Structure 1
Amino acid sequence: MKRFTRMIGELYRTHFAEKLFNKILLTYSVIIMATLIALSFFIYQYFTQYMINKEIIRMQEASANVSAYIDQRIDVSQMMVESLYANESYLQYFEVLLEKGYAEFLSYQFEQYLSSNTPIKLPLKSLSAYFNNGLDLDSILFLSNGGEIYRLTSQLSLEIVTPSEVPDLIVQENDRHEAVPIFPVTTNHGTGSQPLYIYAAELKNSDTLKPFGKIVIQYKANDIMKSNQRTPYGLKGEIMVLTRNGDVIYDSSMQWYGIRYPVERLLDNDDHKPMRNYIVSTANKAGVIVAGIMSSEQMRSGTKSLQRWITVLTGLFMAVALLLTYTLILRFSKRTRIIVRAMEKLDDGQWNVRIPLTKGDELYQISSNFNRMCERVNDYIEKVYVSEIRQKNAEIVAMQMQMNPHFLYNTLEAIRMNAVAQGAPEAGHMIFLLAYLFRTTMKSAMIVDIAAEIERCRVYLELFQIRYPSQLQAEFDIPEELGGYEILKLSVQPLIENYVLHGFRANQLDNRIYIEGNLIEDVIILRVGDNGKGIPPPKLLKVRQSLTENSELESKSDSLGLSNVHMRLQMMYGNEYGLSIESTDGVGTEITLKIPAVIKE
């Protein structure tokens, strides 16, 4: 027992302890088998009871048919006796036969024939008509008080028989004490012995009521089952017709003839209740017991094939159900193993791992969320990595530019003063503007107010207008209240610089650029537009893609570039902010900058 317990424990630890789907498969298999077995049991019990009830009903119908058959024979027998009493001459014929003998009977019959002016109807011929009515008559016996026996057969012959030919009849008739009109006998005449049952009645003189003999009508017992010829299938069990003291009138099994049957098996001594496996009927005119007897094996004999079919079908359904369950569990298990392996790869640092997506169930949702998580982590890592690299580059450039800024500022101021002293004030003003741009660029502050950023743009455009006098008109429409809001340094100037490099038409005099701003709820909108060259559609598409994908389209000579500005704004304020661009080739370009409205501290 301990060894078996250890084997079970080892089996569980090996195949089920850490395997969820094996547990599900085992649990589901047990549930399926228990359910199918229970269902099969109830179905078997239901149909078994149905078939038993059906057999009981068929046996009840067969017993009722036998009772009706016996009642019919009782009625016919009584009609035969009553026909004798109805015709007084018939009764006189048999009174002469039984009291004076066969010879006197013949003489009496001849005298009646001679003395009658009309044809007479003989009683023997009248009784013989009953043989041709399908009543299963064997013979009609007439017994005298002196012991003489006469037999009328279907051949219309009246035979004298000795008591030795009908010993059972004489013995049973003389020994009977129960008041039933029929009882069993056996005979030895004819082709062989066969079971019979008889109806007996006394014959009395109609005037004196003195008995002068008996009439005994013999029926073939084996023909009793003709009453069930319409039964489509053979009965399971036996039909027996018994007297109340156990004499067997009819036995379909042919086993109890000549043996007294223990009727206590059939009837309760108190109230004649039907007992188990017995269908008992006493509702007939003869007062005999008609019993349908079925053993438990006979009642259930038809259920063996049902049991085999239910067993086969249950096994088949169990096999199909378990196979389908195993197939489904195996498919889910494979998909789960794919997810687990992807997680293990992710744990090893393989952030490019992806789970194939199939179907729309919970595992699909898990796989989809896992893939989205990996993509977001990759994007985040890439953004942080790129941001750190750019920050390092910016710090290096800033450190390089800050090595000796004062030397640059002093040199430019010396050149400006020399230009003014030499009578070149315009050149001095240009150097002043250039020095201002350098100075504001070299400041370490990342966040400036909008007023300072716009002022840088004014200086930049003024410096450009000196280079191209009367060819560029610059318009600023920035509400004064926007000046105190913060903005990322070098956010607007690169947009103007983009126009100067790509949109300015040096051969035209009507070049125009405008910078305008608005505060809409909690968002600041700055627009930089021009009437320059515009952008061809293919290139405009690439520019927009560069803004969407945060990749640099421009070369290093394009200053900080549009995508650089867009990326810095999104990194600073979020993905809902940044740049958008509209352009028509040959007409002009408008760039919109959107940032949150935050007061500069």
Structure 2
Amino acid sequence: MKKHSSKQLYFRMFWGYTTIVFLVVSALVIYFLSVAGGKALKANTDARDQVCRDARDYLEETGQQADYVYKALYGSKRELDDLIAYFQLDKEEYQKYCLDKYMSTDELEYQNIYDFVNEVFSASSELKKIELISYATMEMTQCYPQKVFYPGKDGKKRIEELEQEQSRKKGELVYLKEIRNPDTLQQEGCMILTFDAKETLEKIQDSNPYVMLAVASQNDQEIYVGKKAGNWKENIRQRGYDVIQDSVDEYVVYSYVNKKEAADLSGTTFLAIMGMGFLAIAVGVVSISCYVRKFTARVETILDAMNRVKTGNLKDRIQVDRVRDELDMIAGNFNEMCGRLELYIQKSYLAEIETKNAQMQALQSQINPHFLYNTLEAIRMKAICNGDREVGKMLYSMVVLFRSQLKEADIITLGQELDYCKQYMELFEYRYQGCFLSQVECPVELLALPVPKFILQPVVENYFIHGIERDRKDNQLFIYAEKKDGQLCIYVKDNGCGMDEEEIRRKNKELRENCYGEEQKKSIGIGNVNRRIRAIYGEPYGISIEKADPKGLIVILTIKTEEE
């Protein structure tokens, strides 16, 4: 039954703790996945912002390049005059104008508008073409790198296309700059600069796989749409997309991410979190198994000890670990319970047995108390009638002693015990009249303390049997009591013949070990009193013997101070 119950306890605890560990680890895994997803979304959102800034900076850069070309043209009066002449004159007149300008200067070469355009292409690698349109003739000249020029194109159609934003090719950034005559402030024509932005915008777009980029005009005319952008006009209006936009001149940059896709974890991160979760569960299950096995083993130890106590073995004790948990508390209380039960049995049964044995030994070794009591009482009355009062006092003391032996309880007060002892010593004062004196001292507050009956009389009797020296006139016996370290100590001091050091050590050893010979067990002397005290109060208490100064012995009775 014990093994079956401990096995059930093991499985209940194991599966209970395992379930808790599984739930806790699962919650932690979900939490870490959520945190990692949030961090991934934050990182991708930051990347979206960076893509938007990079695209805006690039558009600003191309616009600044267009402004730089325009300012450079107005910074050179000769080239600006040449361009205005190119707009106003026909081909032959313009060539004559150029020849006249060349002849009027000392320079070896004449820098016309074509040379200026070639220098602009050399300065900007992303500049795809420059278109020059004359408002006077509405003719357009297309200029390309490597000194490629196509004059005679339809400028009016080109301007109309730009106004309708229909001819703009994807990936091209177009900037139109009006050319005014600085003298008359009349618009002579315009210069259209076209930049090839597709490659650069693709690099910006490819910097993050989750970010989508779109560039459009203010009228939502597509300029650039990334490969992953899809239908950008619909996407930027949906809730599932996180969109940021920025405007640069006539262009608008849209940068956005799909929230769900941006929050997705990489396969490595997902597997790492799941792997840590499975590892934590495995370690937890192994730790729980070891802990529960140890716990159930401790429970089995307690059950085994309880079964041994059932058989009457109260000396069995459970080893208390240093864990200081509930099982240690149970083990400690179990040990304390066994100790108290054992002490209770000693007090309730062994003390009673010892007392009865002492009484039986006293009855067997002495005259029948009832017969002696009645006889002494008759003799005392006869002595009083004959006028012999000293004999009457002696007989009265003996009558009191026999009455206390017959009628008093086993536990009396210290005051009663001292009073009986005084009555006993008075008998010997009459017997050894003139050569023996006794004295008893005790603080008033100790008189009511309970003590076993007849613990002093055997000690005093032992003195009269073995210690008194009858040829001396100064024999003394002094009894006093004190409370010391929570214990009641009663001292019986005499100046008799005493014992040598070796005998005192041997006697104290017998008293401590509570072992005596058969003849000593039958007596009612010090050994009997020591057994009774130890049976009632336990091992720390009892009788010890010391050598008195200058001679004699001191018998010390140590008793537990109890109010009841």
CA 1:500 to 1:153, structure 2 compared with 1: closer, same or farther past 3 Å? same
Shift of 1:137: 1.4
Shift of 1:288: 1.6
For residues 373-400 of structure 1, give each alpha carbon's deviation from its aligned partner in whole angstroms, at most 9, with x where no partner exists. Answer: 2123223334544445445545655379
For residues 40-88 of structure 1, give each alpha carbon's deviation from its aligned partner in whole angstroms, at most 9, with x where no partner exists. Answer: 4334333422332332222223212322321232233234335445656
Structure 2 equivalent of residue 340 of structure 1: 303
Give, in whole Å, the separation in 1 of the partners of 2:459 and 2:353: 24
More displaced 10-residue stretch of structure 1: 550-559 or 560-569: 550-559
Structure 1: unaligned runs, 5 residues or longer: 1-13, 187-194, 269-273, 414-432, 467-471
Structure 2 equivalent of residue 588 of structure 1: 552
Any idea what SS the aligned residue of 2:309 has?
helix
Give, in whole Å, the separation in 1 of the partners of 2:223 and 2:325: 77
> Is contact 1:517-1:527 (8 Å) kept?
yes
Structure 2 equivalent of residue 138 of structure 1: 128
> Is contact 1:237-1:298 (8 Å) kept?
no
CA 1:501 to 1:130, structure 2 compared with 1: closer, same or farther past 3 Å? farther
Structure 1 equivalent of residue 406 of structure 2: 445
1:69 aligns with one of 58, 66, 83: 58
> Is contact 1:60-1:279 (8 Å) kept?
no
Structure 1 residue identity aligned to 2:233: V
> Is contact 1:546-1:553 (8 Å) kept?
no
1:372 aligns with 2:336: yes
Give, in whole Å, the separation in 2 of the partners of 1:64 and 1:557: 109
Shift of 1:26: 4.6
Give, in whole Å, the separation in 2 of the partners of 1:289 and 1:332: 71
Any idea what SS the aligned residue of 1:358 has?
coil
Structure 1 equivalent of residue 43 of structure 2: 54
1:263 aligns with 2:255: no
Give, in whole Å, the separation in 2 of the partners of 1:15 and 1:440: 62
2:99 aligns with one of 90, 103, 110: 110
Q: How does 1:230-379 map to 2 (within 5 A)?
A: 234=208, 236-253=210-227, 263-266=233-236, 276-285=240-249, 287-296=250-259, 298-359=261-322, 360-379=324-343
More displaced 10-residue stretch of structure 1: 216-225 or 511-520: 511-520
For residues 497-534 of structure 1, give each alpha carbon's deviation from its aligned partner in whole angstroms, at most 9, with x where no partner exists. Answer: 4335554568x7577342446799xx998754333343
CA 1:292 to 1:172, structure 2 compared with 1: closer, same or farther past 3 Å? farther
> Is contact 2:480-2:491 (8 Å) kept?
yes
Any idea what SS the aligned residue of 1:159 has?
strand
Structure 1 equivalent of residue 168 of structure 2: 184
Any idea what SS the aligned residue of 1:177 has?
helix
Any idea what SS the aligned residue of 1:354 has?
coil
Structure 2: unaligned runs, 5 residues or longer: 379-393, 409-415
- TM-score normalised to structure 2 length: 0.72
Q: How does 1:185-200 map to 2 (within 5 A)?
A: 185=169, 195-200=171-176
Q: How many residues align?
A: 525
> Is contact 2:178-2:190 (8 Å) kept?
yes
Structure 1 equivalent of residue 381 of structure 2: none
> Is contact 1:582-1:589 (8 Å) kept?
yes
Aligned Cα RMSD in Å?
Answer: 5.2
Give, in whole Å, the separation in 2 of the partners of 1:534 and 1:253: 119
Give, in whole Å, the separation in 2 of the partners of 1:92 and 1:594: 134
Structure 2 equivalent of residue 127 of structure 1: 117
Structure 2 equivalent of residue 424 of structure 1: none
Structure 1 residue identity aligned to 2:339: E
Q: How does 1:4-43 map to 2 (within 5 A)?
A: 19=9, 23=12, 26-43=15-32
Shift of 1:284: 0.9
Q: How does 1:191-210 map to 2 (within 5 A)?
A: 195-203=171-179
Any idea what SS the aligned residue of 2:169 has?
strand
CA 1:247 to 1:368, structure 2 compared with 1: closer, same or farther past 3 Å? same
Shift of 1:201: 3.9
Give aligned-pair identity as a percent.
19
Larger RCO, structures 1/2 (Cα 8 Å, 6+ apart): 2
Any idea what SS the aligned residue of 2:39 has?
helix
Any idea what SS the aligned residue of 1:160 has?
strand
1:218 aligns with 2:194: yes
Structure 2 equivalent of residue 152 of structure 1: 143
Shift of 1:90: 3.2
More displaced 10-residue stretch of structure 1: 132-141 or 296-305: 296-305
Structure 1 equivalent of residue 390 of structure 2: none
